[in-house]
Amino acid sequence: MRSFTKRPVALIAAAALSTVGLIGLSSSANAAPTSLKFNCSASIVTNQEFTLDAEISAPAEVVQGQSAEATFSGTVTIPDNVRAAAYTFLGGRSLAGPATVNAKLGSKSFTAGATLPSTPIPSTTGSLSLPVSGKGSVVADTLGSQNVTIDGFTADLAMTKSDGSTSALAVTCTAKSPETVVATVNVVAPTPTDEPTPTDEPSPTASPSPTASPTPTASPTPTPTTPPTTTPAPGTDPIKAVVNVLLGLLKKLACKIIKC
């Protein structure tokens, strides 16, 4: 939706937008009174024309990829026949509750929450004006000038009756001219940031040269020991000595056999 309250509200809304940190809000918020008509149904009445007179504040500029927030405040006017049906046939004495506004930034849909404070339903003939205010946000994806438009709204109201009890009253409204522009936001490209100059990496420290292992000392080759040669006793004939030994052995063997 668009406008609600007048210029003082627009200024307060603009200040609120800046305090919540809207990124890319480089110029003041744009706001202008707007009057929108809706085709609405509520309980026993259908196809009734409701009018929204409001002021919507939105950032004039926002950086692509950041959120743009819109605030609104104003009144919804319902015709006398709806007021009379609520008062006479439904026994209503006041209305209050939340509402959801279906909006678009360019072609991107988003919703805005709204609040309707408790408002008396008069018994006298005439239209009924219901105060309403709220806000919504959307991420700006598309570069360039983007229009904010309103498709409609719904409200889940609680109606207090003359006996003190309450009953639900669902309201559904569709914009008669959904193409009506209620605000314009210029979406700009982000400013490129300078990349930091890379820091030179320190030169690698040379690894110390390995210490040469000492050359092993060759073990001395052992000198083979030649077994001593048995020298026969002087004057002894070696062959004769062997024969004598053999004879002696044979003699001993023969004695064992024949028992000599």
Q: Are 130 and 109 in contact (CB under 8 A)?
A: no
pLDDT of residue 243: 73
* pLDDT confidence tier of residue 207, bands split at 50, 70 and 90: low
pLDDT at residue 21 is higher than 50:
no
Task: Supply 135's token pair.
Answer: 């806000």
Range name among 1-15, 67-81, 164-178, 231-245 with the lowest pLDDT average:
1-15
Measured at the alpha carbon of residue 191, what is the angle toward residues 185 and 193, in degrees to the nearest 5? 155
For residues 130-145, give the mean pLDDT.
96
Instruction: Report the chain's C-alpha Rg in angstroms.
Output: 55
Give the span between the Cα atoms of 200 and 190, in whole angstroms.
30
* pLDDT confidence tier of residue 259, bands split at 50, 70 and 90: low
Share of the chain above pLDDT 90, in %: 58
235: buried, middle or exposed (CB in 10 Å: 19+, 13-18, 0-12)? Answer: exposed
Ramachandran angles phi, psi of 111, nearest 5°: -120, 155
* pLDDT confidence tier of residue 20, bands split at 50, 70 and 90: very low
> Of residues 166 and 242, which shows the higher confidence score?
166
For residues 45-55, give the mean pLDDT.
95
For residue 95, which of 113, 73, 125, 122 has the smallest C-alpha distance? 122
The CA-atom distances, in angstroms, between 53 and each of 152, 175, 201, 208 are 14, 13, 65, 84
Give the span between the Cα atoms of 22 and 215, in whole angstroms.
78
In the chain, the domains with their CATH numbers are 7-188 (2.60.40)
pLDDT of residue 13: 32
